[in-house]
Structure 1
């Protein structure tokens, strides 16, 4: 019999209509959490995910919100609370890429990525923290008053030419997460990061859609397979459970060894 480690809890997952966010939403719902599936454009995919979660006995709703807009974020939290009455888990997953060489990158390309990837995490973490502090620890539900996951990337530590806006946003997430963890720990709020490597999602389709592209990608992955959204989802479900209650302020990389600098595996 499977134990639902997150039973009685609820979660908001941003950018949950596809890719890693969808994998996290499915894993948290499977673990017993009631889930708010955030999306910004694709209502159909969000509704399909809600239907899938409910089909397997879970609870979920879809909420449209652009996490880079404060008004949207406030409305998203209000809608979640109106349905579920409380909040236990915040997964800051929404993110995007607008790639260009530095000399060709426009201010709009830079700002859009920073606004969604970094400012969006700030806004959602701030609102979640307010709720967690007000609620306090809910005895019998969770050992912590709240849990925040900041979805990052291996590129918070690996430089990425041609993607300076994305890499800068992920580097910023690392210190945002650590600073939040330091500030919120006295309130029994845990904050951690997850740093995925190459995960098979629509955002990086060009890197795996052909055998040639996939083989090239696998030269960067010592474990010799591309990750799947379920890999990240399973980690997230564990990280917000009481089994991980003494973990805060750290990024867990889930990358098949990409951060092991495989170029040096043959002595450089």
Structure 2
């Protein structure tokens, strides 16, 4: 299905996990892809081959999106590659596990700069481009179920995702007159490299699974399918919301 024919998508943090799955899915649906990561390695090479084997174009741009000049340059460079940019998927994200009373300013800045500040100014650069060229645009932010539910010992992470929730709602109103849509996707427990420690700990994993009504972890492809929907014209009347991909986790409550 070529619902993204003649469209270009930038997916930040797309070397692995959910970002890579999003890039592959958008390419499978017809988009040309700008990949991004802190460094270009064999993962990026493999993704480029997968995408070009589908008959789509792919290009990798190195950038640390936690630094504002870097993320602005990333968007500018992405536009220059194929002469346009239609879809921005803000997938890059980090977390730090620490008791609140031990969190350092360095840890806080690392999380907030990547998960919120970089996203904020990346969106701004994309909006300026779309506004200047009078082009429609779609923005999808990779949030988390923790924009809504607690995650003890990850205070900065929760704060960053909670802020992303409000940013998305605010921008939906501000960007609608520019023919731009913005939504959040909030994954729950997904089998990705960021959850490797969890998956390697059978006891903790069992505790998580027990809280999920569907009794299983999700896959990066589950998340990518929703991203593709929100990026497409199938969702042309959808903006300002968060869509959970969590097997029912977020609002699950069971009498004991």
Q: Given the two structures, how large is their TM-score scaled by the length of structure 2?
A: 0.96
Once residues 203 and 245 of structure 2 are traced to their aligned partners in structure 1, the CA distance between those partners, rounded to angstroms, is 23
Equivalent residues, number:
256
User: Which residue in the other structure is 1:13 paired with?
Assistant: 11
User: Which residue in the other structure is 1:142 paired with?
Assistant: none
Q: Which segment drifts farther, 126-135 or 236-245?
A: 126-135
Cα deviation code 1:125-171 (max 9, x no counterpart):
0011111212324xxxxxxx000001100000101110001000000
Once residues 106 and 244 of structure 2 are traced to their aligned partners in structure 1, the CA distance between those partners, rounded to angstroms, is 30
Once residues 20 and 142 of structure 2 are traced to their aligned partners in structure 1, the CA distance between those partners, rounded to angstroms, is 13
Once residues 191 and 97 of structure 2 are traced to their aligned partners in structure 1, the CA distance between those partners, rounded to angstroms, is 18
User: Which residue in the other structure is 2:74 paired with?
Assistant: 76
- After superposition, where does 1:26-175 map in structure 2 within 5 Å? 26-137=24-135, 145-175=136-166
Cα deviation code 1:96-116 (max 9, x no counterpart):
011100111111111110000
Alignment gaps of 5+ in structure 2: none
Conservation of the 8 A alpha-carbon contact between 2:182 and 2:240 = yes
- Segments ≥4 residues shifted beyond 4 Å: none
RMSD over equivalenced CA pairs, Å: 1.3
In the TM superposition, what is the alpha-carbon distance from 1:206 to its structure 2 partner?
A: 1.5
User: Which residue in the other structure is 1:252 paired with?
Assistant: 243
In the TM superposition, what is the alpha-carbon distance from 1:210 to its structure 2 partner?
A: 4.5
In the TM superposition, what is the alpha-carbon distance from 1:227 to its structure 2 partner?
A: 0.6
Give the match's secondary structure for 2:33.
strand
Once residues 128 and 20 of structure 1 are traced to their aligned partners in structure 2, the CA distance between those partners, rounded to angstroms, is 22
Alignment gaps of 5+ in structure 1: 138-144
Once residues 31 and 234 of structure 1 are traced to their aligned partners in structure 2, the CA distance between those partners, rounded to angstroms, is 10
Once residues 118 and 61 of structure 2 are traced to their aligned partners in structure 1, the CA distance between those partners, rounded to angstroms, is 15
Q: Given the two structures, how large is their TM-score scaled by the length of structure 1?
A: 0.92
